[in-house]
Structure 1
């Protein structure tokens, strides 16, 4: 990271940023072309390891890409506020952002999918839900265990 003065390495602070974000961008490689899609998500942390859960329709471009090339990058950001100046080149913005790299897994087992959906709903709605096999059978759930995470903040 070029701006070490903005880098965040504390797991608790990184988790606080994740919690403020509602949408992440999932970046994939579709052959020679990049493909990025914004998605609602849920996140959990265990022993400093962040895991992201996403859900989508059970078929489509993103799943087809992930089946062939599961290496992904995710990005999330929040805490925006303009920083004004008398000089145009000095205008800026406060922010907090996270970038993570990992391998996407398309979950198959009801229990794993139900857990992933529960993490998403807790993150998005702040509520716990249970999911039946019929409900988990209607969606695809993607788990990404992030192997590399960088975070930064400009206050």
Structure 2
């Protein structure tokens, strides 16, 4: 993949620790996919595993996302830290991280459990009651799709 330079170097987030912080604190990502010449974009909640430099998502076992990923696992995603519109300045305070990598539909039950734990630990203050309610037995992992985005590269940008 050809690397692109950032036009506004003064807005570039190049510190890996800052990029990881944004990913750890984010709640959702916008995922862009493509099969043939047909694009598809979807917003999903996620969890970021810093040790694996990967994001995890959950989905239904069937549907458009799964079809796109099976046909072309290369995706691009954006995580946005929205600081809000700055009234009377015609500006917006934000930080974004753009991720590129390969999305995998996990099959192994232990990997799915790990992925769901990463998601719940990021999204919930107290994940234990949610897990107890939604994962009543090990077979529950067979009824949900867990997706893993192995991050190949990421870049960040900040505004105002």
Instruction: Give the TM-score normalised by structure 1.
Output: 0.88
Counterpart of 1:9 in structure 2 is 14
Counterpart of 2:3 in structure 1 is none
Counterpart of 2:30 in structure 1 is 25
Counterpart of 2:119 in structure 1 is 120
Q: Deviations over 1:124-147 (max 9, x none)?
A: 114455654212111000101110
Alignment of 1:1-150 (within 5 A): 1-46=6-51, 50-85=53-88, 91-129=90-128, 132-150=137-155
SS in 2 for 1:59: coil
Instruction: Give every structure 1 segment of 4 or more consecutive aligned residues whose post-TM-superposition deviation is greater than 4 Å.
Output: 128-132
Instruction: Give the TM-score normalised by structure 2.
Output: 0.86
Q: Which runs of no fewer than 5 residues in structure 2 stay unpaired?
A: 1-5
- Root-mean-square deviation (CA, aligned residues, Å) is 1.7
SS in 1 for 2:92: strand
Whether the aligned pair in 1 keeps the contact of 2:47 and 2:121 (CA below 8 Å) is yes
SS in 2 for 1:43: strand
